[in-house]
Amino acid sequence: MIIDKDSYGSLALVYSLSALAVVLLFVFVRIPWLTWPLTASLLWFCIWQTRFFSVPDRKCSGTDNLVSSVADGRVVIAEKVFESEVLGKEALQVSVYMNFFDFHANFWPVNGEVTEWKYCPGKHMFAYKPKSSLENEHTWVKLRTASGKEIMFKQIAGGFARRIVCHADPGLKVQAGKQLGIIKFGSRIDILLPLDAKIKVKPGDLVRACESVIAEL
């Protein structure tokens, strides 16, 4: 497990502010029953943030035809929808909600090629709400597999997320299981699949990025 390279600055800020807070506690407060519990809490917060911005080492289940989960989290949607923003047609949607305790690194779900992608600024309502897919800050990426199948996914910022990182460019060849980016703090991934795909998960299921197969194309 390594630290996400796009999160070095965020972690440095967390460590610096926590260290400053500890110094201020011991210099100005100096009340043992208050200083030590607060110091322990700050240490726990630093450990949690380090894990939060880490990239887990996983064995990948995604292939040209097997779609692995882009993120860790809980499945909140697995159904047919009308995708109006990009596709303009019906598709199968699987949405994975990431809470504060999940790894937030994102990974390519299949082997293929990026055909389109776009960053869309927006609101920061809680990502479990259905309309967050259109109204929140997000990116969308379209992929074509070697067999010609097309899928799309969205990285959706949540109520506290203020930055989405997505390393995508049209023409980029991608490999399932390789990191594509990260969403900082609570957020959601929507994966849009062809209508003939076979969804392998249901709402309420816990999935792990790379390892959990969510659909077969």
Per-residue pLDDT of the chain (217 residues; tens, 9 = 90+): 788 888 888 889 999 999 999 999 999 888 989 999 999 999 999 998 888 888 888 899 999 999 999 999 999 999 999 998 999 999 999 999 988 888 889 999 999 999 999 998 887 766 556 666 677 889 999 999 988 999 999 999 876 656 789 999 999 999 999 999 998 766 889 999 999 999 999 999 999 999 999 999 9
Let me know if residue 102 belongs to a domain.
yes
Which pTM value belongs to this model? 0.87
Backbone angles phi, psi at 147, to 5 degrees: -85, 0
Residues 6+ apart with CB under 8 A from 72: 56, 96, 98, 102, 103, 104, 207, 208, 209
The sign of the dihedral angle between the CA atoms of 141, 95, 78, 61 is positive
Let me know if residue 60 belongs to a domain.
no
Q: Which of 132, 133, 187, 212 is catalytic?
A: 187
Let me know if residue 173 belongs to a domain.
yes
The answer to whether residues 35 and 98 belong to one domain is: no
Domain encompassing residue 17:
2-55
Where is 16: in which H helix or E strand? helix 8-24
Q: How many domains does the chain have?
A: 2
95 catalytic, yes or no? Answer: no
Q: What is the pLDDT of residue 166?
A: 93
Let me know if residue 197 belongs to a domain.
yes
The answer to whether residues 193 and 91 belong to one domain is: yes
Of 55, 75, 96, which marks where a domain is finished? 55
| Total Cβ atoms within 10 A of residue 57 | 8
The answer to whether residues 124 and 24 belong to one domain is: no
The answer to whether residues 123 and 180 belong to one domain is: yes
Q: What is the pLDDT of residue 116?
A: 95
Q: What is the pLDDT of residue 123?
A: 78
**For 95, which DSSP code?**
E
